Structure 1
């Protein structure tokens, strides 16, 4: 079986100290979401299953994430990489589009998925264009364990960066992930964008660490730093 670093990483988060916090989000209006390794893997598995079983996604297909740096956006990126998709940030054509802004959908896609960002959202607030998928309404019905129908090829492209660089799956954790100290609890400001946030988060998880992702409206105070035991950057 050909495995990719993303598949191996999800296996580690699922089984190694799986109840420890891995991704903590601070959003507007005092929103705080904390995902352990097991819970993060659960969300990623459900999202991968939605892509594979409902949208017929296969390794090598392309996913565009028109999303801000947010915990759900990180779930989407991990789900795509686990499935063997290529995530594009350079605006090039893609088979699937995941977005929190229906007005931003341009070009042709096999499927467009509306991602409601509030943590407690059970469905998209308001109407959606015909044929769009409501992520919040659909994802919870999918399985908690992901079994790929087709093994991804580690040599295939995993990421097309905003400046057009192509990074294969096999190099995702060595050529894209930002390196951190072992076990670091890393703060990631969301205003740096999703691509930067993913690079930092992958590097932290690779070294058995965790991340605290903060919305641009949330200040990194001394109290927050102490409460979350942030000791890496």
Structure 2
């Protein structure tokens, strides 16, 4: 029996993002909650695109990187992580998949010479509690404090590292790649763009996520960006990402109503 499911309409992550933003640049594309701090940050497609462009310009113009270089990302699921990942993909970089989730302990063994899959990392983005896990091969290490309202780090990051939020703001709001992203180029480790797009499309189909859905996602339960970022993005859905989610069911129900949530991941 042949697989009669239609192939995804896009084959790269930047193309999936462009399609999502083009549907309505003003709609909330990613809304982030942190129930431990009370933060709520809402980003339209246009606003998220600005952060992505700034990140891509930081990598190309600021760091002198080129398509095919590797970014090690040691960050939890967060709206700033979305900007870093999508910005790196826009710049043509591959992401080290062994460092996109989990606790600082999960990064053990990936620092000497590079990444979990053995390649040397050219740049690293690390949370403030994971600075020690940055690959030694990375020429530039950007630290993210993940503070509400994207405030700069206080105190400043350790010597030899740079505050991502403070640095990225100085770069341009628009980014034009030198060439379109190659669908067969690595995106997450050895997985190519077209492979991660296909995986995201399959997961969206299995979860019943359709264009226009508003998906509530538990960031701590689903720290893999393939789940919390790419699956809804490729499906044409928008994201409500919750970190440190409250166990108060009444708060969750009010949030579902206020955000007009139509799907939940994990299903609940």
TM-score, scaled to structure 1? 0.88
Q: How do residues 53-202 of structure 1 correspond to structure 2 at under 5 angstroms? A: 53-90=61-98, 91-92=116-117, 93-101=120-128, 102-160=131-189, 166-177=190-201, 178-179=203-204, 180-195=209-224, 197-202=225-230
Of 1, 22, 28, which residue of structure 2 is paired with 1:15? 22
1:29 to partner: Cα distance: 2.3
**Conserved in 2, the CA contact under 8 Å of 1:4 and 1:82?**
no
Question: Structure 1's 100 and 150: CA in aligned 2 closer, same or farther, altered over 3 A?
Answer: same
Write the distance in 2 (CA, Å) between the matches of 1:56 and 1:159: 21
1:100 to partner: Cα distance: 1.1
1:15 to partner: Cα distance: 2.7
**Conserved in 2, the CA contact under 8 Å of 1:73 and 1:194?**
no
Write the distance in 1 (CA, Å) between the matches of 2:25 and 2:187: 25
- Runs of 4+ aligned structure 1 residues displaced above 6 Å come to none
1:27-80, Cα deviation, whole Å (9 max, x unpaired): 132110011111111111111111111011211111111001111111111111
1:114 to partner: Cα distance: 0.7
Aligned to 1:29: 37
Write the distance in 1 (CA, Å) between the matches of 2:14 and 2:148: 25
**Conserved in 2, the CA contact under 8 Å of 1:181 and 1:232?**
no
1:12 to partner: Cα distance: 2.2
For structure 1, which segment, 55-64 or 123-132, has the greater mean C-alpha deviation from structure 2 after superposition? 123-132
Of 5, 10, 13, which residue of structure 2 is paired with 1:6? 13
| 1:120 counterpart SS class | helix
**Conserved in 1, the CA contact under 8 Å of 2:183 and 2:193?**
yes
Write the distance in 2 (CA, Å) between the matches of 1:84 and 1:99: 19
Unaligned segments of structure 1, at least 5 residues: 161-165
| 1:212 counterpart SS class | strand
| 2:142 counterpart SS class | strand
Write the distance in 2 (CA, Å) between the matches of 1:152 and 1:211: 24
1:124 to partner: Cα distance: 1.8
**Conserved in 1, the CA contact under 8 Å of 2:222 and 2:228?**
no
**Conserved in 2, the CA contact under 8 Å of 1:80 and 1:87?**
yes
